[in-house]
Structure 1
Amino acid sequence: MTGVVLVGHGGFEKLEYRTDIPVPRPAAGEVLIRVAAAGINNTDINTRIGWYSKGVTTGTENGATQGFQSAQDADASWSGVPLSFPRIQGADCCGHIVAVGDGVAPERVGERVIVRNMLRCYVNYKPFECWTFGSECDGAFAQYAKAPSRETYKVECDWSDVELASIPCAYSTAEGMLHRAGVREGEHVVITGASGGVGSAAIPLAKRRGAFVTAIAGRDKAQQLLNLGADQVLPRGESIVAKLGKESIDVAIDVAAGPGFPELLDVLKKGGRYAVAGAIAGPIVELDVRTLYLKDLSFFGCTFQDDIVFENLVSYIERGEIRPLVAKTYPLNQIVEAQQDFLSKSRPGKLVLVIPNGESPACLN
């Protein structure tokens, strides 16, 4: 089959487009999916460049082209476990089931599905443990992928494959943050990195909960984020304390961290909540611990997701409560261009790879 293989941590040269990759065979409890589309995500880029290594102390963009010399392979994956190469990345998967392993109902063949990107089946559903699809196991940057049947969800809607492929990673991350922070109707929520995949997902997800949303993004993205449902947009890099005032918001949804972190705590009300699932602006921040305890703030680090998070997303789609913003699509062999555009932050919303159709593999004949 055709696919893109990651052969090691580093720059774009570590992504190899191949046409001779063996088609995976579904084991017991697994399904084989003919992939139709796969989204681009920061986690795929961070894994490629080794950004998760504690040897890296700057933002993603500093090593996005060539990787980080300071990264250590031993802790360069998001889970801290060394990655096995070659690896087919791709946390977002939309496609059709074409074969099933033992113990899976054959009636599943033909279903259009998305795969939960945080897989719990392979770790026996232990609390706060999971694999990432496309990291600890092969993912969606290929014509075929296998996944646990229990974590492969049929979705019935009028969306395109590209739209569905934009959901798993970014939308589950955003929904997971809102879920952990307990965002409620009438609360004021600030969302950083609001023009990116997770940030743009968090806007409509927070609005469906009845929140007032302040989005932080580049000035040129403001109208598009207002169209997504944001109540107001603040230009990235300007003082949010000056714009909003101290102790004015209930929840901060942060994927940026970096130098703007201290002000997020300043604008939180006493008893406010801070949820984080990324650090694209830099992982090392300045924290005055007195702000944390004197304001009775709650911090939520958000990687693991309760089962209900992905199940809720599927229900939101099927009830027509959300709709993704897809900025651009690319053929799979243009994955480098897609990642370059992603890193440029020139387009709000999701960038999605369209996977070429392949002939039926021998295991289906």
Structure 2
Amino acid sequence: MRAVRITRHGGPEVLQQADVAVPRPGVGEVLVRVVAAALNNTDLWTREGAYGRPGAPTTLSGWRGPIDFPRVQGADAAGRVAVVGAGVPADLVGRRVVVDPAVYDADGPDANPVGLMGSERDGGYAEYVTAPAERVHDMSDSPLTDDQLATLPTAYGTALGMIERGRLRAGETALVSGASGGVGLALVQLARARGARVVAVSSAPKAGAVREAGAHAVVDRAGDLVGQLRAAAPQGVDVGLDVVAGELVGAGLPLLREGGRWVIAGALGGYDVAFDVRRLYLHNAQVIGSAMHTPAHFALLADLARGGAVRPVVAATYPLDRAAQAQRDLARREHVGKLVLHP
């Protein structure tokens, strides 16, 4: 089969297409013929080795540690079950599925992700990928296209994990940073679907697309951000859904209402942050780290997708041999929505 792999950390030039053996599903696993594979920032950062390690933030590392090269990239995959391994019901063959890419630390619905397809195990930049049977979700009845299904795992899984960990409720006000990106747009859609009032931060040229996704108000990240946010949410913010971090954390915490929650799942603006700790303990506020999702979160996401409650935006598609160009385009951040490969 054709696959796009990395053999070392580096720029897009380290992506190499190769002919490799079709993987065999082990006990309790399935083989999925990949129809669509979405791109994410985690693909870029894994390729670059940008995640660092505890106590050594500049050390080259995959999502959770050293990568076993060569590694097939790609955290997101949707397709059809082609073969089942021992112990897996045969009626899964032919099913249209989306793959939960997380490797969890335990069994059970509330397990934490400690690994990821495309980093700790081979991913979806290939014609076939294996996955544990309990991590493939039957989407045969979903109204979403294969391309839309492929956008769900990382972006929408991360977004729903943030919303669940932040305990966002109907009627509350949510602030969404980086709202035109993959996770940001998912946060806007999911928070709106939950009944929250959504105040989004985006660049001015992309504000229309963010409003179309469901934001009640969009503020320009290049302007007086705090002033705009206070005007858009004069009563304060209940939950900050932040994929930017950096200076936004210190600026945003004073915007929280009593008992507010600030959830961080990215560091596009920088991982070294500073804030006034009094804004936490004097107002019973919380800063919450959120990495991906739990099995329970992903099951909820699958239910939403089956019912068509979310409608992912696909900005562009590419053949597999243009994976490097697709990653370059992703890094430029000139699009709104998701980029998708067709293996």
Report the TM-score when normalising by structure 1.
Answer: 0.88
- RMSD over aligned Cα atoms: 1.8
The more displaced of 216-225 and 229-238 is 229-238
* Partner secondary structure for residue 72 of structure 2: coil
The more displaced of 236-245 and 333-342 is 236-245
1:212 aligns with 2:197: yes
1:136 aligns with 2:123: no
Kept after mapping to 1: 8 A contact 2:160/2:293: no
Letter in 1 for 2:81: I
Q: Name the counterpart of 2:32.
A: 33
2:253 maps to which of 255, 258, 265: 265
Kept after mapping to 1: 8 A contact 2:219/2:229: no
Q: After the TM superposition, list the runs of 4 or more consecutive aligned residues in structure 1 that deviate by more than 6 angstroms.
A: none
Q: Name the counterpart of 1:338.
A: 326
2:59 maps to which of 45, 69, 72: 72
1:201 aligns with 2:186: yes
1:240 aligns with 2:233: no
Kept after mapping to 2: 8 A contact 1:123/1:131: no
* Partner secondary structure for residue 172 of structure 1: helix
Q: Name the counterpart of 1:112.
A: 96
Distance 1:312 1:55 in 2: 31
Task: Report deviation, 1:174.
Answer: 0.2
Deviation digits for residues 156-199 of structure 1 (CA, Å, limit 9, x no counterpart):
22322111111111000000000000100111101001000000
Task: Report deviation, 1:233.
Answer: 0.6
Question: Aligned runs of 1:125-164 on 2, under 5 Å?
Answer: 127-155=111-139, 156-164=141-149
Letter in 1 for 2:296: I
The more displaced of 96-105 and 299-308 is 299-308
Task: Report deviation, 1:94.
Answer: 0.3
Kept after mapping to 2: 8 A contact 1:130/1:304: no
Distance 1:262 1:227, change over 3 A: same
Task: Report deviation, 1:10.
Answer: 1.3
Task: Report deviation, 1:54.
Answer: 4.7
Kept after mapping to 2: 8 A contact 1:3/1:88: yes
The more displaced of 231-240 and 161-170 is 231-240
Distance 1:56 1:349 in 2: 34
Q: Name the counterpart of 1:321.
A: 309
Distance 1:54 1:336 in 2: 26
Structure 2 unaligned runs (5+)?
Answer: none
Q: Name the counterpart of 1:274.
A: 262
Distance 1:335 1:55 in 2: 30
Distance 1:56 1:201, change over 3 A: farther
* Partner secondary structure for residue 190 of structure 1: strand
Letter in 2 for 1:142: A
Task: Report deviation, 1:99.
Answer: 0.3
Task: Report deviation, 1:32.
Answer: 0.3
Q: Name the counterpart of 2:279.
A: 291
2:296 maps to which of 308, 313, 332: 308
Task: Report deviation, 1:268.
Answer: 1.1
Q: Name the counterpart of 2:79.
A: 95
Question: Aligned runs of 1:7-18 on 2, under 5 Å?
Answer: 7-18=7-18
Letter in 1 for 2:17: Y
Task: Report deviation, 1:342.
Answer: 1.1
Distance 1:157 1:22, change over 3 A: same
Kept after mapping to 1: 8 A contact 2:30/2:130: yes
Distance 1:143 1:320 in 2: 27
The more displaced of 91-100 and 317-326 is 317-326
Letter in 2 for 1:87: R
Task: Report deviation, 1:339.
Answer: 1.2
Deviation digits for residues 211-240 of structure 1 (CA, Å, limit 9, x no counterpart):
000111110001111111110111113233
Distance 1:306 1:87 in 2: 24
Task: Report deviation, 1:270.
Answer: 2.1
Task: Report deviation, 1:142.
Answer: 0.3
Kept after mapping to 2: 8 A contact 1:119/1:132: yes
The more displaced of 258-267 and 83-92 is 258-267
1:174 aligns with 2:166: no
Distance 2:284 2:168 in 1: 17
Task: Report deviation, 1:129.
Answer: 4.5
Structure 1 unaligned runs (5+)?
Answer: 58-69, 356-365
* Partner secondary structure for residue 170 of structure 2: coil
Q: Name the counterpart of 2:209.
A: 224
Kept after mapping to 1: 8 A contact 2:63/2:120: no
* Partner secondary structure for residue 123 of structure 2: coil
Deviation digits for residues 13-66 of structure 1 (CA, Å, limit 9, x no counterpart):
221111x21110000000001101100001111111111115999xxxxxxxxx
* Partner secondary structure for residue 130 of structure 1: strand
Alignment identity in percent?
Answer: 40
Kept after mapping to 1: 8 A contact 2:264/2:290: yes
Distance 2:122 2:135 in 1: 15
